[in-house]
Amino acid sequence: MSNPAITPELIAKHGLSPEEYEKVLSILAREPSFEELGVFSVMWSEHCSYKNSRPELRKFPTTGPSVLVKAGEENAGVIDIGDGWAVAFKIESHNHPSAVEPFQGAATGVGGIIRDIFTMGARPVFLMDSLRFGSIEGDSEQAKTNRRLFSGVVAGIAHYGNCIGLPTIAGEVYFDESYSGNPLVNAFCLGILRHDQIARGAAEGIGNPVFYVGAETGRDGLAGAAFASRELTEESKADRPAVQVGDPFREKLLLEACLELLATDAVAGIQDMGAAGLTCSTCETASRGGTGVEIDIQLVPQRAKGQTPYEVLLSESQERMLVIVKKGREDVVKRIFEKWDLPYAEIGKVTDDGMMRVRNGNDVVVNVPARSLADDGPLYSREAAPFTPPAALDLATVPQADPETALPKLLAHPSIASKRWVWRQYDHMVRTGTAVLPGSDAAVFIVREANKILAAATDCNAIYCKLDPSVGARIAVAECARNLACSGAVPIGVTDNLNFGNPHKPENFYQLRAAVEGISEGCRAFGVPVTGGNVSLYNESPAGAIDPTPTISMVGTIADASHITTQAFKEAGDQIYLLGETGNELGGSHYLLAIHGRKEGAPPALDFDKEIAIHNALLGVIRKGLIRSAHDCSEGGLAVAIAESTFGTGLGATIDLGTTDQRPEVDLFNETQGRIVISTKASDSAALEKDLATSGVPFRKIGEVTAKQEFSIKTGANAYSWKVAELEGVFESAIPSLMEG
């Protein structure tokens, strides 16, 4: 079959602008072949090149004494955790594939992030996810579609993680109309390794053989990177061939085989075939090594007959790796991959000319400088629209609501309600390291081989980011750190997933730039490096762009098992305290959205110095054994936080907020930042108060844990009361009822 002529229409179909095509001509000094056009198309797509975001990403802090592999150098960053041990972790999106094929889109998103981790030489130990969908409430066709997407994505994540034997131990799920038609599926994986096990993805050693290992190449996932670099439209269903098909059982074999191979001295470089498949792995390893790579397409294991060089190069079939093997050690690769019953083939060699050269037998179909593909693509600084921060919410425009009916309604809102329906589908206990169940402020996982305790959380309030992207991004970092502090952990690093709309639209590009600057400010304040992550742009459906969603995943360490802290109240008679001060900020709150249907006003203010002081004070009293529970105040405010602390305990709480000149719903449901609800034994109250007073952070006793399963709260002259069982009932049943309906 002859290849089509290179026409302006074909160039546009490949996502290259006329200016970018002129750059291709100047690099090659000739017209590209059809295969070369495809190679430039995927490697210069936003998904692979970050051409619209890379200049902004340089603002992130990426260095520090604990950083062993920094962001952008390899597939994932690596952070030292002491005693010769390290962690590799990263988060990545599979948004567009999940929109058109939710089960496989989500499943292969999990598979891809796992490969990024074991490519570094790390053994993956746990997963998290951050998910966003349109509203699942009601009987509209859109709500039904959103429920189908939600169900399919959760099933896909569960399928892949459960089959490969990795626990999914934490995450977040939000629902908002802005995600209708364009769900967000962000998958996180963390692995453990020793310092001397770090693997690199560079093609080193002239003459070293290049091996293809893993599953055969098929036509699935064809040009998936280009698909992920354009907006979703009504015609996107036709892009289903761009969605990969995953096989977690084969990935498990590949994981074990690769780790066994890396334990030998046979490997000079290793790279997974993720976005852009064989194309990306070939040119990136060559570029990193300052070398060239030559391969023959006819030697690549293939799933179907008659696949063209174009299809083999651009396929994103899953469970595949490229390995640069030290010359003379080929038999080691063959022995290990035959043992694990996996395909393998020697498909080429490392060269000294800096070229990515692809042969189809005797014919050369691609002959391109590797660096021009991997590192020298076009970069753009798009126009950012002027932005005026929103004014504070005028409370006079907000009708008063009865808190006794508002609290159950908030707890039943799908974004706040229990996500047990989600995580009960995950095998969250496999590997027996999970120390805290999903649904808590942070995941806690014990890595027994390293004798280390890790904590992890993922956060982003997209309502805040929609109203003020910089403030919202700063809060996402602070809330992640606060969740870690509530678990007893100190943060060590951040990975982020930047989900935004079309960057060619100035208002969207402003959101991206402002969020990056907010994250950078937050990470510098907390002294944590950004170890890597993912940028996902063009998240738009015909209805418009998603709310900006810069998802933050933060990892921390806990020094001693006795410091592990959870949000649940422990015993009647324990004293309840509030760390931090309560303001009157209802702007951007879930109360305003769930009760009044409004998404407006200024998001709550954030003071990093005050936030960090509260975290440090909390960690200090946790280490002294003075804290029985800790839970941060986030969506839904103080009343939701206290209610959640009673659930599953058989206990209640009596709260008195004292004299106040604010409306009761402001005291109960505002989302002032930097607040944490803690409890302590009555006998430890004096010692706790002394320590907190010494630290200088604001705190006050607000109540007591009770044996009576009732939640009562007084604020000024107003008093409210709920049966804990009734609140817990609406909290736990909200999502199952919607999904069963």
548 secondary structure, DSSP code: P
Query: Residue 241's pLDDT is what?
Result: 56
Region 140-148 average pLDDT? 96
Size (the chain), residues: 741
Is pLDDT at 647 greater than 50 in this prediction?
yes
pLDDT at 432: 80
Nearest-5° Cα angle at 355, 354 to 356: 130
Q: Is the pLDDT of residue 225 over 90?
A: no
pLDDT band at 240 (very low <50, low <70, confident <90, very high): very low
Give me 332's structure tokens.
């080691």
**Residue with tokens 């290259």, as numbered in its chain:** 16
Share the mean pLDDT of the chain. Answer: 94
> Within 13 Å and on the Cβ side, how many CA atoms surround 216?
11
Average pLDDT over residues 652-674: 95
- First-last CA distance in the chain: 51
pLDDT higher than 90, residue 661: no
pLDDT value of position 470: 98
Catalytic site positions:
47, 94
Q: How far apart are CA 233 and CA 486, in angstroms?
A: 42
CATH architecture, domain defined by 565-741:
Alpha-Beta Complex (3.90)
* % of the chain beyond a pLDDT of 90: 89
Confidence of residue 428 (pLDDT cuts 50, 70, 90): confident
| Strand ordering across the sheet containing 209-214 | 267-272, 320-325, 209-214, 344-351, 292-296, 355-360, 363-369
Assigned token pair, 543: 């209805």
As a whole number of angstroms, the distance between CA 467 and CA 258 comes to 46
CATH 3.40.50.300 describes domain 51-374: no
* 228 or 568, which is more confident: 568
Q: What pLDDT is attached to residue 231?
A: 60
Work out the average pLDDT over 132-148.
96
The dihedral formed by the CA atoms of 639, 642, 644 and 645, expressed in degrees to the nearest 10: 180
pLDDT one-digit tens code per residue, 75-98:
999 999 999 999 999 999 999 999
Tokens (6 digits) for 352:
């000294």
As given in the structure block, the two tokens for residue 603 are: 């998001």
Q: Which of 100, 110, 112 is nearest to 157 (CA)?
A: 110
Ranges of beta strands (E only) in 136-266 are 168-175, 184-194, 209-214
Domain boundaries, the chain: 51-374, 565-741
**CA-CA distance, 489 to 68, in Å (whole number)?**
21
Residue 376 pLDDT class (50, 70, 90 cuts): confident
Q: Is residue 395 within 8 Å of residue 591, measured between CB atoms?
A: no
Closest by CA position to 215, among listed 254, 242, 241: 254
Percent of the chain with pLDDT over 70: 97
Single out the residue of 502, 522, 520 nearest to residue 511, CA to CA.
502
- Tell me the pLDDT tens digit for each residue of 321-357: 999 999 999 999 999 999 999 999 999 999 999 999 9
Nearby residues of 33 by Cβ (< 8 Å), 6 or more positions away: 3, 365, 366
Residues 6+ apart with CB under 8 A from 407: 639, 640, 643, 668, 669, 720, 722, 727
- pLDDT score of 223: 54
**Ramachandran sector of residue 451 (left: φ over 0; alpha: ψ -120 to 50; beta: rest):** left
Q: How many CA atoms lie within 13 A of 5 on its CB side?
A: 2
pLDDT, residue 276, reads 83
pTM over 0.85: yes
Mean pLDDT, range 236-262, rounded to an integer: 82
Q: How many CA atoms lie within 13 A of 541 on its CB side?
A: 20
362 three-state secondary structure? coil
Rounded to the nearest 5°, which phi and psi values hold at 56?
-75, -40
DSSP 414-443: TTTS--HHHHTTS-TTGGG-EEE-TTSSSE
